[in-house]
Chain A
Amino acid sequence: MAGLTLNHIYKRYDNSGKKKKVKNDFAVKDLNLVCEQGEFIALLGPSGCGKTTTLRMIAGLEEITDGEIYIGERLVNNLHPKDRNIGLAFEDYAMYPPLNVYGNVAFNLRAKGVDKSEIDRRVREIAPLMQIDDLLEKMPVKLSGGQKQRVNIARAIIREPELLLMDEPLSHLDGKARQAMRTEIKRLINKIKCTTVYVTHDQLEAMSLADKIAIINFGVLQQFGTPTEVYDDPVNEFVASFIGEPPMNILETTIIKKEGTFFFTFSNSNLEIAVPQRYYSVISDGFRCKMGVRPMDVLIGGPDSQGTPEKIATFENLGDERRIGIHVGDILMMLITEDEKRYKRGDIIKLEVRGEKTHLFDITTGDRIREKK
């Protein structure tokens, strides 16, 4: 039994014109997702991509234009949010102002009519889990952002929902508070093992927390896979450039053949990089495509390397690592190394790329060109 199933979900924009205009009329288009029981999935994408809309449809706060949503075995399309057995942690915490922390956490149990002693037992059980046991008497205005978020989550999970939804819960925290809360959420979910859907635009969060990531752009699902899959095996240019910090170098290239070896060449640049052997079956002389390689996978070649010598445009020493930028036409290609050598602008180096980490993308559609097995 799956925890959550989305079948061919469509959402049309409100005609009241409140949503921004984008290139199609749908906020969400033909979304299909299956989330296993106990799995933590992230809905990841840039702002306005439809991830929050999808979450709200799952919660019942937005109407579904077309398609079905199942929580467990139940079809929930027409169920009121309170009958869907979900918990939702809002971005802005949504604390009821006249109630203290205890009252806020207990609110939905009280509204359901659960009896007092049971409420008390459950609140006291959850409080240490979220580290809010010493905050129970406090009023919401006196809490910090991180504390409010913990109360928010406690409130969402106290009714032991079938599905936990979180809408960018960390976006109003910064720096250390954010990192600490992220770790806390990870450990919490690990403990309670509740099926969770987490919305974020921060790919680091998604990579750290989720078992699987659903990447969405303009309302269309791009890829649904584990962090390793979306990182190492992106299906298209969008996913490749969205995941990873700093982002993947993606450059338009023309492949030429020189004395039996294929090279990537770039406009307005002398740079030539050897094409990895495994792509030989799908390319030809004059083939145009986009080459993608992550900064960590661009290497400084030794003196007998095949690469062309290039001038360093920028050199940043960041203590833990060094980042080198090289102009390739209009684009600055980045490489990251832990090599201790300190370079300067104008120094000459040779570039190589890790064969198994270099990707090809179609020059028009952006889809991944895979080697033939």
Chain B
Amino acid sequence: MARIQLENVKKAFGKVQALDGITIDVKDKEFFVLFGPAGAGKTTILNCIAGIMMPEEGLVKFDGEIMNLTDSAHRNVAMVFENYALYPQMTVYDNMASALRSKLYKTDEAEIRERIQWAAKIMKMEKLLERLPSQLSNGQKQRVAMGRALVRNPSVFLMDEPLAHLDAKLRNSMRTELKEMQANLGSTCIYVTHDFMEAMALGDRIAIIKEGRIVQIGTGDEIYYMPCNEFTAQLMGDPEINLIDAEISGTEEAYTAKFSLNGEMVACSLPQDSGVYAKIKELGLKRVDIGIRPQHIKYSFEPQDGYFKTTVYSYESIGNKSVIVTDCGDKNHSQLRMIAPNGLRVAIDNDIYIHLEMDHAIFFGSETKDYIVRYDEANYIALAAAQEDE
């Protein structure tokens, strides 16, 4: 296993700057996730680590040794592709043995058999060894692809959206299995995905990538609770975080946030919090974007104290719960999302009364969209620090 470092790596394809100064330090035995929207450059980073592509600038280091000029075969990396890349005319057994039989590794057949049996047991595919890829389902092909990587015993596993083409059920179960497997093996793993659930569940640390640049690196909790900007906050969480354009008024004893809802300005008092209040005073904040996650908005179909009136736009199930979307009635048609149980009778375009739990709010700059402060910040910083030490 190895420690992988990228230092200021840059790569362009013609006029497009795919990677613009990427610096990453993946610790030995870490499960490191590259997360970002499509086209951000995640696969390019993986390819540079694997040696499939060479960066124009910057260094790729394995355990401190510069690997830029070493070709892929000699880097001892194993890659699992989105499309499995299995040799169609070979059985599963031969696919897995293919690397070991190559001139580079020259392993004898007895050892090959032993290793394949070991990998097959871990991937729960002992019964598939004699089949051809055309006889396998997508989920089984994915196991073979991973098994083939396992057998190699590489310095690092590189996985490029391996679960992308599986249906939701299979994705969930394979994700859980992957996590268990990696913990058991203790291998360094660099994993690319655009699915935030995979990122949060699997990653010891996550790097958020946007347009070839790193936006934030941290543990799942760190990024979820203290996202460095609105872009990151919106990536993590389904349904997406609500962002409300608000004005801050009041005195340093009691601040209030005012925002527009259905044509009226409503005021929400901001609960006391040393961190938040200090920041508001220090920066003289007048206008902010307040981020509230859907689970922190309460609703009622009857008017209640402290609840604001708005209209239902839609009600949709997302699996184990549902989302109510309300229309704020402003010219941007901005919407608020909140969580509700499955199976309610909700009529579209009806009135609904909502209450924002401000004590979970995150504050972002109105212009910069960057993170400013959040409620209970000290606690989350401590949590993140504790996780980093693990």
Is A94 interfacial (CB-CB < 8 Å)? no
A127 CB to closest chain B CB (Å) equals 18
| Cα–Cα distance between A187 and B350 once the two chains are bound (Å) | 12
> Which B residues touch A228, using CB under 8 A?
342-343
In-complex Cβ contact of B200 among A204, A294, A295, A318 (8 A): A318
Q: Are B317 and A227 in contact (CB under 8 A)?
A: yes
User: Interface 1/0s, chain B 151-187, versus A by CB < 8 A?
Assistant: 0000000000000000011001101100110010000
In-complex Cβ contact of A245 among B168, B202, B295, B348 (8 A): B168
Is B67 interfacial (CB-CB < 8 Å)? no
| Cα–Cα distance between A208 and B319 once the two chains are bound (Å) | 9
A-B Cβ contacts below 8 A, count: 93
A185 CB to closest chain B CB (Å) equals 10
Q: Are A320 and B237 in contact (CB under 8 A)?
A: yes
Q: Using A204-B318, A204-B319 as known contacts, say yes or no to A186 and B343 having CB atoms under 8 A apart.
A: no
Is B316 interfacial (CB-CB < 8 Å)? yes
Is B220 interfacial (CB-CB < 8 Å)? yes
Q: Are B317 and A207 in contact (CB under 8 A)?
A: yes
User: Interface 1/0s, chain A 208-252, versus B by CB < 8 A?
Assistant: 110000000000000000111001100000000000111100000
Q: Are B183 and A345 in contact (CB under 8 A)?
A: yes
Q: Are A320 and B348 in contact (CB under 8 A)?
A: no
B202 CB to closest chain A CB (Å) equals 8
> Which A residues touch B348, using CB under 8 A?
186-187, 190
Q: Are A183 and B237 in contact (CB under 8 A)?
A: no
Is A336 interfacial (CB-CB < 8 Å)? yes
Is A135 interfacial (CB-CB < 8 Å)? no
* Max count, chain B CB within 10 A of own CB: residue among A246, A325, A342: A246
| Cα–Cα distance between A232 and B175 once the two chains are bound (Å) | 27
> Which B residues touch A323, using CB under 8 A?
176, 201
In-complex Cβ contact of A319 among B173, B202, B224, B322 (8 A): B224
Q: Using A244-B319, A345-B183 as known contacts, say yes or no to A183 and B201 having CB atoms under 8 A apart.
A: no
Q: Are A232 and B343 in contact (CB under 8 A)?
A: yes
Q: Are B295 and A204 in contact (CB under 8 A)?
A: no
| Cα–Cα distance between A187 and B348 once the two chains are bound (Å) | 7
| Cα–Cα distance between A179 and B314 once the two chains are bound (Å) | 11
- B contact residues, total (Cβ < 8 Å): 39
Is B210 interfacial (CB-CB < 8 Å)? no
A318 CB to closest chain B CB (Å) equals 5
A356 CB to closest chain B CB (Å) equals 14
Q: Are A317 and B220 in contact (CB under 8 A)?
A: yes
Q: Using A183-B325, A318-B197 as known contacts, say yes or no to A207 and B179 having CB atoms under 8 A apart.
A: no
Q: Are B200 and A183 in contact (CB under 8 A)?
A: no
B189 CB to closest chain A CB (Å) equals 16
Q: Are A231 and B343 in contact (CB under 8 A)?
A: yes
Is B238 interfacial (CB-CB < 8 Å)? yes
| Cα–Cα distance between A276 and B68 once the two chains are bound (Å) | 63
Q: Are A316 and B179 in contact (CB under 8 A)?
A: yes
A202 CB to closest chain B CB (Å) equals 8
Q: Are B320 and A294 in contact (CB under 8 A)?
A: yes
Is B293 interfacial (CB-CB < 8 Å)? yes
Q: Are A244 and B320 in contact (CB under 8 A)?
A: yes
User: Interface 1/0s, chain A 159-198, versus B by CB < 8 A?
Assistant: 0000000000000000000010011001100100000000
| Cα–Cα distance between A103 and B172 once the two chains are bound (Å) | 44
| Cα–Cα distance between A92 and B293 once the two chains are bound (Å) | 36
> Which B residues touch A231, using CB under 8 A?
342-343
Within 8 A of B (CB), among A67-104: none
Is A338 interfacial (CB-CB < 8 Å)? yes
In-complex Cβ contact of A338 among B180, B197, B295, B313 (8 A): B295
Q: Are A183 and B314 in contact (CB under 8 A)?
A: yes
Q: Using A332-B176, A338-B295 as known contacts, say yes or no to A319 and B342 having CB atoms under 8 A apart.
A: no
Is B221 interfacial (CB-CB < 8 Å)? yes
B266 CB to closest chain A CB (Å) equals 25
A172 CB to closest chain B CB (Å) equals 14
A207 CB to closest chain B CB (Å) equals 4
Within 8 A of A (CB), among B215-232: 220-221, 224
Is B236 interfacial (CB-CB < 8 Å)? yes
Q: Which residue of A is nearest B383, CB measured?
A: A342
Q: Are B168 and A316 in contact (CB under 8 A)?
A: no
B316 CB to closest chain A CB (Å) equals 4
Is A108 interfacial (CB-CB < 8 Å)? no
| Cα–Cα distance between A100 and B169 once the two chains are bound (Å) | 40
Q: Using A245-B168, A317-B220, A332-B176 as known contacts, say yes or no to A186 and B200 having CB atoms under 8 A apart.
A: no
Within 8 A of B (CB), among A308-329: 313-314, 316-320, 323, 325
Q: Are A320 and B317 in contact (CB under 8 A)?
A: no
Is A296 interfacial (CB-CB < 8 Å)? yes
| Cα–Cα distance between A319 and B203 once the two chains are bound (Å) | 12
| Cα–Cα distance between A208 and B340 once the two chains are bound (Å) | 12
Q: Which residue of B is nearest A327, CB measured?
A: B180
Q: Are B200 and A319 in contact (CB under 8 A)?
A: yes
Q: Are A246 and B320 in contact (CB under 8 A)?
A: yes
Q: Are B316 and A316 in contact (CB under 8 A)?
A: no
> Which B residues touch A325, using CB under 8 A?
176, 180
Q: A227-B317, A316-B202 are in contact. List 18 more A-B contacts (CB 8 A).
A: A179-B316, A204-B319, A207-B342, A232-B343, A245-B172, A246-B319, A296-B321, A314-B176, A314-B180, A317-B201, A318-B197, A320-B238, A320-B293, A320-B295, A323-B176, A323-B201, A342-B221, A345-B183
Query: Could you pull out 15 A-B pairs where Cβ atoms are within 8 angstroms?
Result: A182-B316, A183-B314, A186-B316, A204-B318, A207-B317, A232-B343, A244-B319, A246-B169, A296-B321, A313-B180, A316-B175, A316-B202, A320-B238, A320-B294, A325-B176
